[in-house]
A and B are shown apart, each in its own frame.
Chain A
Amino acid sequence: MDNDDDRVSCAPRIGCDLAEIEAVRESVAVFGERYLGRVYSMIERSQTSEAPERLAARFAGKEAVLKLLGVDGLQPRQVEIVADASGVPGVRLSAAAQASARAQGIGDIAISLSHEGGLALATAVALATRPLPGRTG
């Protein structure tokens, strides 16, 4: 018998989300600091200059990652969308979100953001590794 129990599969995971830029603009106008503070980290606020279209892209990014992780009970603040020095967005997870990712064998998560025509779009992609149960035959 071969060693099937040690085999590990890589399954692609994807999550996507759309956010209305006008809805974000309204949230900032109505709730201001309470909205910004409950949803975005300081670095996200700084990197977006709190521009509604860029915040909306971050929000969509957070939700895309939460969908990819597939776990209820994580909040937007537990996923950060942070650009590197060259402006490429990446994903930073809180300890709780990292634990969820690790439990599913999810390592790095790639993210892509866009906005156009009043909507912001994000897609998150990762590979999840899981040990396969033993096979017969």
Chain B
Amino acid sequence: MTDHADGDLAAIREALEKFGRLNRPLPEIADDDDLFAAGFTSHATVNVMLAIEDALAIEFPDELLNRTTFASITALANAAAQSRGSR
């Protein structure tokens, strides 16, 4: 999956801005950059997930709650699209 809704990407970036606690400014982080290399922690993934769920009115299924899902903005957008499809 390569095309993501602009709204999804904006919501993911907003969630990361508020709750990601990254060690680099978000505008410097490309969609495919490794978020864990930018300081993303396991605890912050929970908050970011909840913020994305709130913003997009979705719920990440348990099978998507793994490190791969939170590896990048693109991966999060893929997971959001998959979560929407699984409802």
Binds A, one of B2-10, B24-32, B38-46, B77-85: B38-46
Number of interface residues of B (CB under 8 A): 14
A residues 28-50 with Cβ under 8 Å of B? Answer: 30-31, 34-35, 38-39
Dominant secondary structure at the B interface = helix
Contact of B46 among A27, A72, A73 (CB under 8 A): A27
Contact of A19 among B19, B43, B66 (CB under 8 A): B43
Tell yes or no: A101 within 8 A of B by CB: no
In the complex, what residues of A have CB within 8 A of residue B47's CB? 23, 26-27, 30-31, 35
Size category of the binding interface on chain A: 10 to 19
Contact indicator per residue, chain A 49-89, by CB within 8 Å of chain B (1) or not (0): 00000000001000100000000110110000000000000
Tell yes or no: B86 within 8 A of A by CB: no
Q: Would B43 and A75 count as touching, CB distance under 8 A?
A: no
Q: Would A72 and B67 count as touching, CB distance under 8 A?
A: yes
Give chain B nearest CB distance to A119 CB in angstroms.
Answer: 11
Q: Could you say which of B43, B62, B67 has the most chain A C-beta atoms within 10 Å of its C-beta?
A: B43
Dominant secondary structure at the A interface = helix
Contact of B66 among A35, A38, A59, A73 (CB under 8 A): A73
B18 nearest CB neighbor, chain A only: A30
Contact of A35 among B21, B42, B44, B46 (CB under 8 A): B46
4 extra interchain contacts, Cβ-Cβ under 8 A, other than A20-B43, A23-B44, A24-B43? A31-B47, A38-B50, A72-B66, A73-B63
A residues whose Cβ falls under 8 Å from a Cβ of B: 17, 19-20, 23-24, 26-27, 30-31, 34-35, 38-39, 59, 63, 72-73, 75-76
Q: Can you list 25 A-B pairs, Cβ within 8 angstroms, ordered by A? A: A17-B42, A19-B43, A23-B21, A23-B44, A23-B47, A24-B43, A27-B43, A27-B46, A27-B47, A27-B50, A30-B47, A31-B47, A31-B50, A34-B50, A35-B47, A35-B50, A38-B50, A59-B43, A63-B42, A72-B67, A73-B63, A73-B65, A73-B66, A75-B62, A76-B46
